[in-house]
Structure 1
Amino acid sequence: MIRSSSKSGSAGPVTLAVTLGDPRGIGPEITGRALGIFLEEYPEASVLLLGDDRHLAEVTQSLPGSRVRTEATGTPGLSSSDLDAGRVSVEAIRRGVAHCLEGRATALVTGPVHKPSLRAAGVDTPGQTEYLQALTEAPSVGMLMATETSRVEVPLRILLATTHLPLRDVAEALTAERLSEQVQLLADGLRRGWGIAEPRIALCALNPHASDGGLFGDEEARILTPVVEALRASGLRLQGPVPADTVFQKLLDRDVDGVVVPYHDVGMAVFKTLAFGQGVNVTLGLPFLRTSPDHGTAFDIAGTGTARATSTLEALRLAARLGPGLNRVHEGITAGNI
């Protein structure tokens, strides 16, 4: 168990812990290109880069050495197995978390990983978000998809109340406690990260037409509406439950600052349609901010030079901007299992 020993997120230069992701994917190449731009834009920022030694050497060739430190987490072969690649990826994540918790980094930016590789390396969580929660022993986390530069020129902030679940399990997972927790995570993130004093949030319904008075399910009346009423009574500016076919128009019209959706694909379909390649996966609820690009490893185009680095660049920018405000390591939050 590791306890944070120094303050982070205070005024001054920002240091980002950055993992390269799966060494067989596009993570290393897009991270290198994105860092070249990011370090020019943020002259006071520095980076602690974590990944396999071969790609670290390639990525850092054109980067300013005085502002980039590297830490090798393994030496996988050119034709690595899921196990070998997974071990390198997992060790990079673990060390990145440790650096953030010890105050050596303000925020964590993770490259794309292959979920079967994580599983092969012994990680029994569905993905990085859940693994980070386990490593830090955070009581709750939220997966927020965010962009300030969508194709419709409107900021998008969509939090997924449930993440990697089969659709048949979603209704059972949508408890009042979970929904209340997720809405409050988003509200807290918007306040401390984005500086929105009184966030306006919409809660997306689960059933078609918000169940139309019980014709298509009862979750809205039984679970969602009581949550909205309770959080409104506590002072939160919350709308809903709003049907899925209209709730995102509220974002586009700037009537709300963020939307909480009940399950993965209802939010991701909209988000990636409007912001693919520009979006950022933000983990709320950790002792520090974690961001990641909005795409996967793209093994099929790795090494071809065709992968776009825009989402990784946005993840770096967002981490530098929001990291200090969302860093709570100085509060003495305890981490474990690292």
Structure 2
Amino acid sequence: MARPQDQQAPLVITTGEPAGIGPELVLMLAAKQPSDWVAIGDPQLLNHRARQLGLDIELVCVAPGERLPEPRIGRLAVWPVALHVDCHPGRIDPANGRYVLELLDLAVAACLDGRASAMVTAPLHKGAIREAGYNDFIGHTEYLRDTCAVEEVVMMLATDSALHGQADGRQQALRVALATTHLPLKDVAAAIEPHSLERVLRILAADLQRWFGVESPRIAVCGLNPHAGEGGHLGREEIEIIIPVLERLRGEGMRLDGPLPSDTLFTPRHLEGVDAVLAMYHDQGLPVLKYAGFGRAANITLGLPLIRTSVDHGTALDLAGTGQADPSSLGVALALAADMVRSR
């Protein structure tokens, strides 16, 4: 169904793993601010969780493309998708693994056909989806890559001070992208190869321009090994793979620093004037970013034909249904997606 001509396509938020904190984070945001966005999920689940938390939320079910209700605090528009089985906070049921993917599929389809302007994702539980029979499922990032049929995507996290492309005075803006994502550490070195590394750097530079208004991005690149290999004494990936790729792209005019030792790169002096850091693997770059801004950061998938942001944390099953979860990261992800829509 086409959206009304006088109404901009809304942002959509997938509510994620139903037994986790995703549904209540969405409800908490709706209880604090007028929501001109749409939640995708099971209305009965959302109603039950709202009552459990003592939140006075009016749910309005609409079909994708239909006009949204007038935004107001405590009102939440929902594109309904039914759970496969009843859900209890904190108790994973693999029977709902397919439900979580259905939320993503609807959001992707709506972004691609213009019924949604961007998608924001609450956390999912990888184990529950694998136990549902999707044994090859790795994570949001890889699933969206395959669903959108693109060759390469880049996972990047940004602190809230990176909104609008500038720091807010509280902290240095920090964006960290990954050359590899959800891989066992033993597989990382083999995955760092010239063609893939070059694609990641091109996507990162292009989307910093497209979504963040950085005209000529400066990217600092981590080495893979301690001390960036120390001239080959601690590993040769820098000499044989990373340095040749950086030199080739510098020859095209890209502004690339490195490869630099990650234990010194993440210091104010080395980050000064840097628009993004490229880490070689997940736990090289993300612990630093989350220490700097956990709960005030968001995850962005670059290289897609759509805008996707997400929270910087997991399902927090131990907090589900308690009302103790913090919706700050989801709020940052929503604000960042809206900012990217405006840039587009």
Q: What TM-score do the two structures reach when normalised by structure 1?
A: 0.86
Instruction: Name the residue aligned to 1:108.
Output: 119
SS at match of 1:282: strand
Compare 63-72 and 25-34 and name the one that shifted more. 63-72
Matched, 1:77 2:86: yes
2:46 to 31, 56, 66: 56
Distance 1:160 1:6 in 2: 37
Could you list the structure 1 runs, at least 4 aligned residues long, displaced by more than 6 angstroms after superposition: none
8 Å CA contact 1:152–1:274 kept in 2: the answer is no
Q: Is the 8 A contact 1:143 1:284 kept in 2?
A: yes
Please report how far the alpha carbon of residue 180 of structure 1 lies from its aligned counterpart in structure 2 after TM superposition. Answer: 1.0
1:38–1:205: structure 2 CA closer, same or farther, 3 Å change rule?
farther
Inter-CA distance 38–180: structure 2 relative to 1 (3 Å threshold): farther
- Corresponding residue number in structure 2 for 1:226: 244
Alignment of 1:209-220 (within 5 A): 209-220=227-238
**1:336 aligned partner:** none
CA apart distance, 1:66? 2.9
CA distance in 2, matches of 1:207, 1:12: 51
Q: Does 1:146 align with 2:141?
A: no
Where relative contact order (Cα < 8 A, 6+ residues apart) is larger, the structure is 1
Amino acid at match of 1:202: A
Secondary structure of residue in 1 paired with 2:267: helix
8 Å Cα contact 2:153-2:203 kept in structure 1: yes
Q: In the alignment, is the contact (CA less than 8 A) between 1:163 and 1:263 conserved in 2?
A: yes
Give the superposition deviation at 1:134: 1.0
Say which SS state the counterpart of residue 66 (structure 1) adopts: coil
**RMSD, aligned α-carbons:** 2.5
Cα separation, 2, equivalents of 1:53 and 1:12: 23
Q: Counterparts of 1:139 and 1:255 in 2: how far apart (Å)?
A: 30
Q: How many residues align?
A: 314
Identity among equivalent positions (%) equals: 41
- What's the offset of the Cα at 1:49? 1.5
Aligned residue in 2 for 1:89 = 100
Distance 2:269 2:12 in 1: 31
Work out the CA distance in 2 between the residues paired with 1:12 and 1:233: 46
Q: Which residue of 1 aligns with 2:25?
A: 30
CA distance in 2, matches of 1:34, 1:251: 37
What residue ranges of structure 1 are gaps of 5+ in the alignment?
41-45, 327-338
Give the whole-Å Cα distance in 2 for the aligned partners of 1:6 and 1:146. Answer: 33
Q: Deviations over 1:212-257 (max 9, x none)?
A: 1111010111001001101111111111101111112258742211
| Corresponding residue for residue 146 of structure 2 | 134
Shift of residue 12, structure 1, vs aligned partner: 7.8
- In the alignment, structure 2 segments of 5+ residues that lack a partner are 51-55, 61-68, 163-168
Match of residue 248 from structure 1: 266
The alignment partner of 1:238 has SS state of strand
TM-score, normalising length: structure 2? 0.85
For 1:71, give the aligned amino acid.
W
Between the aligned partners of 2:229 and 2:2, the Cα distance in structure 1 is: 50
Flag the 1:37–1:196 CA change in 2: closer, same or farther, 3 A.
farther
Shift of 1:152: 5.7
- Note closer, same or farther for the CA distance 1:324–1:98 as it changes in structure 2 (3 Å cut): farther
The Cα offsets for residues 47-75 of structure 1, whole Å up to 9 and x where unpaired, read as 22211222333568257843453222223
1:37 to partner: Cα distance: 4.1
